[in-house]
Amino acid sequence: MNSNMLAAAKTNAANAGAMAGAAQAGVVPTAAGNNAAKAGMNAAAAQVRVVAAQNANAKAQETAAKAANNAARAALNAAKRPNSTNNRNAAAAAGNAANAAGNAAITNANLASAYRALKNAMAAKGMPL
């Protein structure tokens, strides 16, 4: 999916350049050329933001999974050998896991927002959704 989006982004950039050139040459009205070029660049920029959001989301999900695993290990350790150190470690690991899960939820929401922005930019350019 990332490679498809990258290819589409390159095409959009090329189309935007061609439209700007056509406007300069007087083939199309300047305003129409500028608007089409802007719409193309907006779609390309939105695609880049989606890829960045996907990468951030994947990393956050991985971090959350690791933190949850650490919390499970610490809880097991505290259950096997209950003492103040193990109990404290289990509580800290649980807090870290909750924090990582919250961060993952935020990056997930950011990804959804990036997809919405891409859909809007593509619709503005008249691209198929």
Q: b/e string for 35-72 if b means 16 or more Cβ within 10 A?
A: ebbebbbbbbbbbebbbebbebbeebbebbeebbebbe
* 18: containing domain: 2-125
pLDDT in tens, 38-62: 777 888 888 899 999 999 999 999 9
pLDDT in tens, 109-121: 999 999 999 999 8
Half-sphere exposure of 91 (CA within 13 A, CB side): 7
**DSSP codes joined into one string, 46-103:** HHHHHHHHHHHHHHHHHHHHHHHHHHHHHHHHHHHS-SHHHHHHHHHHHHHHHHHHHH
pLDDT recorded at residue 24: 54
Instruction: Give the model's confidence band at 1: pLDDT under 50 very low, under 70 low, under 90 confident, else very high.
Output: very low
Work out how many domains the chain is built from and give that number. Answer: 1
